[in-house]
Amino acid sequence: MRLYADSAKCCGCHACLVACSLNLFQVNNPKMAALRIIAKFPDPGTYDIKVCTQCGECAAVCPTGAIKKDAKGAYYVDFDECDLCEACVSVCPEEVMFVRAELAQTSWKCNLCGDCVQVCGTDALWIADEETVSAQ
């Protein structure tokens, strides 16, 4: 399972970012979300959504083993084990692995909770098996 995005459907409302920050940190702070919405200027209304593909590259380089895989196959950060070394950030191919000490005293990434999918009013986000999506 992983999160998928169709950037052509994104309206740039940032509801997904708010839902994500609420899930991860119980705060309404889009800067603390585990996905990114990039405005494509000068084209108004055009956005690029960056999401975690659950590739596991972050877990492979984590020296403390703070990035683990859960039963549904999603990688997550064990906040108690993260030492803010930032090794995970540079290897993330989607640039959605975050370490910003001024915001949170841990690294963070998508844990595949699905909250962003539930609040997306344009159906730009969904969770599916890789086999299901590749067969379409």
Please check the confidence at residue 136 and state whether its pLDDT lies above 60: no
Provide the domain limits for residue 98: 2-135
Report the distance separating Cα 79 and Cα 67, nearest Å. Answer: 9
Q: What is the domain count for the chain?
A: 1
Stated pTM of the model: 0.88
Contacts of 39 (CB under 8 A, 6+ apart): 12, 46, 47
ω into residue 42 within 30 of 0, thus cis? yes
Check residue 133 and give its pLDDT: 60
Report the distance separating Cα 108 and Cα 116, nearest Å. Answer: 15
- List, for residues 59-76, the tens digit of each pLDDT value: 999 999 999 999 988 999
pLDDT band at 123 (very low <50, low <70, confident <90, very high): very high
CATH at residue 72: 3.30.70.20
Check residue 42 and give its pLDDT: 82
Check residue 134 and give its pLDDT: 54
